[in-house]
Amino acid sequence: MVTRLGLVVHPRRELTGALDAIRRWSDENGVHVVQVPAHGQDRSVAEPGDPATCDLIVALGGDGTTLAALRTGAAAGVPVMGVACGSLGALTAVTADDIDDALERVGAGDWMPRALPALAVDSGGAATLTGVNDLVVVRQGASQVSADVRVDGELFIRFAGDGLVVATPLGSSAYTLAAGGPVLAPGGSGLVLTPLAPHGGCCPPLVAAGESRLTIALEPGHGGARIELDGQIQDRVEPHAPRTLAVTLRERHATLVALGGEEPLLAGLRRRQVIIDSPRMLARDAREAMSRNPVSG
């Protein structure tokens, strides 16, 4: 049962219809609506509220907004429902047009929890940082960074370059894919490490087991480096100040609302043309289409 609903909203997208639907449903069902803190919340649509007092958090926007909501929801132990105000992504369960039905179903308990793992990143005794998608360590200035990467204590690679990306199975279809790393198919588990623009050598992407521990000994060079989690800068590493990061996978870190019938991951990547067939295959399809439907002269 939902008695208090938290909102996380996209800073710029048109949300009038979705917000009207939420307010109408909340009025009819006696649900108190608040806006919970999340990264990028510069737009106010409701009174501020504590996420820990909410039964559900609704993210209005796209995958980025849902990712920000998941960080808030995970810290408070509250499930998140992603609503696509635009095209459907990997994290959004419904479009804004279907929000009425989705809220009715969630209010009636007719939904399934989709548990998402997260990266747990420890560095020099500081508080553990978490990321649902990925950890990015990237050069801050003009110089390269160097890294010594070990898997469960065994040396994998030493390289110099722009940096590296470590991703969860979910995050394997984001930045690390763009950098040439592999996509983990649904049901796969593990950590994906992808070097960014390594300078020479042979530095292939790596898929480590979900129980593995990656240790990254970073030398930031004279330009320094920055550490990002889910696209948010978490820390900056000063020039010539070595840092060691230990990365593990934390299972069942956040909960995403699933309503059934969600688009499969690979189908979604193809629909959004993140994955595109080779030109030879597309040309063959075009020839076959023309042979079936010849243009009359």
Catalytic center residues: 63
CB 85 within 8 A of CB 13: yes
Residues 6+ apart with CB under 8 A from 273: none
How would DSSP label each residue in 54-83? -SEEEEEESHHHHHHHHHHHHHHT--EEEE
Other C-beta atoms within 10 Å of 92: how many? Answer: 26
Q: Which residues pair with 131 in a beta bridge?
A: 119
CB 209 within 8 A of CB 221: no
CA distance 112 to 77: 15
**C-alpha closest to that of 228 among 175, 178, 152:** 175
Count of CA atoms in the C-beta half-sphere (13 A) of 175:
23
Task: Pick left, alpha or beta for residue 187 (phi over 0 → left; psi -120 to 50 → alpha; otherwise beta).
Answer: left
Sign of the alpha-carbon dihedral angle for 62, 64, 70, 73: negative
CB 112 within 8 A of CB 258: yes
